[in-house]
């Protein structure tokens, strides 16, 4: 993907982001990016606002490596700030798109992590004495391994789309923008990823059949 790809395609969000903040309110994310072109220090506020979100997304994908990739994501974002187009994408999905690209350079680590989690989930877990949540815990534990194994088995591009939807909570249009593909391609990738995930979970799946349209 080129440096402009994260915001160069697909339709804009339904409601274009607000570009001007009220006089006495904090500047919007888009304004901070814009101001940082001339005044780079403005960009630091975006880190303060979004570091936790980006780190959580990275942490779920690559584990401890997230600490390093958090830094890399914001460095890349800062360097590409001149190419950011607020009319195409808001800042949070833009950052998550960059984080996704950063993870792409560490696919081996990501798959290794999922496989390790799948193996670890197969081992008995120590439990506390409180029986109140034991049912939920056991249910979650039963799913954790197969779910990690399912993620390891997805094609990287399908996994990107699925996890931007599930963990990044991006809409289809936003995913299309950050992955630089048409929305139809996003739908195809999500269909495939979700079908494979359900199939991999097999008998342990607790799914109610749910339309993907409900999840946008």
Partner 1 sequence: MNDLQLLRDAGPGAAPLSPSARSAARAALLTEIEGAAMRAAPRRKVRIGRTAALRTGVAAATAAAAWAGAVAITGPEAADPAPGGMTLVAVDEITFPLSLDPVPAGMTPSFTGSTGDPEAVAGYTSPDGTGFAIYLSPTELPPADDPNVTDRGTVAVAGAEARWTSGVTPEICTVANVCFEDLPFAELIWERAPGQWIRLSGDGSHGDVAALVAVGESLVDRPQPITLQVGLAPAGWSVVDWHESSGAIGVASDEDPTRAFTVQCMPEAPAGANEMDNGTVEGRVASVTALDPPVTTTVGGQPARMVRAADYMDADQRFWLVAWELPDGTLCSVQTPEDFTRDDVLAIAEGVAYTP
Using CB under 8 A as the binding rule, whether residue 157 contacts partner 1 is answered as yes
**Taking phi first (over 0 means left), then psi (-120 to 50 degrees means alpha), and beta for anything else, what does residue 127 get?**
beta
Nearest to 102, CA basis, from 80, 65, 72:
72
In the stretch 89-118, what mask flags binding to partner 1 with x, by CB under 8 A? ------------x--xx-xx--xxxxx-x-
Spatial distance between the Cα atoms of 53 and 13, rounded to a whole number of angstroms:
20
Write the secondary structure of 129-198 as one string of H (helix), E (strand) and C (coil). Answer: CCCCCHHHHHHHHHHHHHHHHHHHHCCHHHHHHHHHHHCCCCCHHHHHHHHCCCHHHHHHHHHHHHHHHH
Site for partner 1 in 55-74 (CB under 8 A): 55-61, 63-64, 66-67, 70-71, 74
- The C-alpha angle with vertex 193 and arms to 190 and 199, in degrees rounded to 5, equals 135
Tokens of 211: 């339309």
Q: How far is the CB of 125 from partner 1 (least distance, A)?
A: 13
Choose the binding region for partner 1 from 15-23, 26-34, 48-56, 122-130 (rule: CB under 8 A): 48-56
Using CB under 8 A as the binding rule, whether residue 41 contacts partner 1 is answered as yes
Q: Under the rule (CB under 8 A), what is the footprint of partner 1?
A: 1-4, 39-41, 43-44, 47-48, 51-52, 55-61, 63-64, 66-67, 70-71, 74-75, 78-80, 82-83, 101, 104-105, 107-108, 111-115, 117, 140, 143-144, 147-148, 151-152, 156-157, 162-163, 165-167, 194, 197-198, 201, 205-208, 210, 214-215
């Amino acid at each position: 993907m080129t440096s402009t790809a994260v915001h160069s395609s697909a339709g804009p969000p339904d409601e274009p982001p607000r570009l001007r903040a009220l006089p006495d309110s904090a500047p919007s994310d888009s304004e901070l990016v814009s101001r940082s072109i001339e005044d780079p220090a403005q960009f630091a506020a975006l880190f303060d606002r979004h570091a936790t979100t980006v780190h959580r997304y990275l942490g779920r994908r690559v584990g401890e490596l997230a600490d390093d990739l958090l830094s890399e994501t914001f460095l890349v974002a800062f360097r590409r700030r001149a190419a950011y187009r607020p009319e195409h994408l808001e800042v949070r999905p833009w950052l998550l798109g960059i984080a996704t690209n950063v993870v792409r350079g560490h696919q081996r680590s990501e798959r290794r992590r999922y496989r390790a989690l799948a193996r670890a989930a197969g081992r008995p877990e120590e439990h506390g004495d409180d029986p109140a949540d034991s049912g939920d815990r056991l249910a979650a534990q039963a799913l954790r391994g197969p779910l990690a194994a399912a993620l390891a088995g997805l094609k990287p591009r399908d996994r990107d789309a699925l996890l931007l939807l599930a963990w990044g909570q991006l809409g289809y249009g936003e995913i299309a923008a950050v992955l630089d593909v048409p929305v139809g391609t996003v739908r195809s990738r999500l269909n495939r990823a979700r079908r494979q995930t359900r199939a991999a979970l097999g008998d342990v799946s607790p799914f109610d059949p749910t339309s993907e349209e409900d999840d946008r």
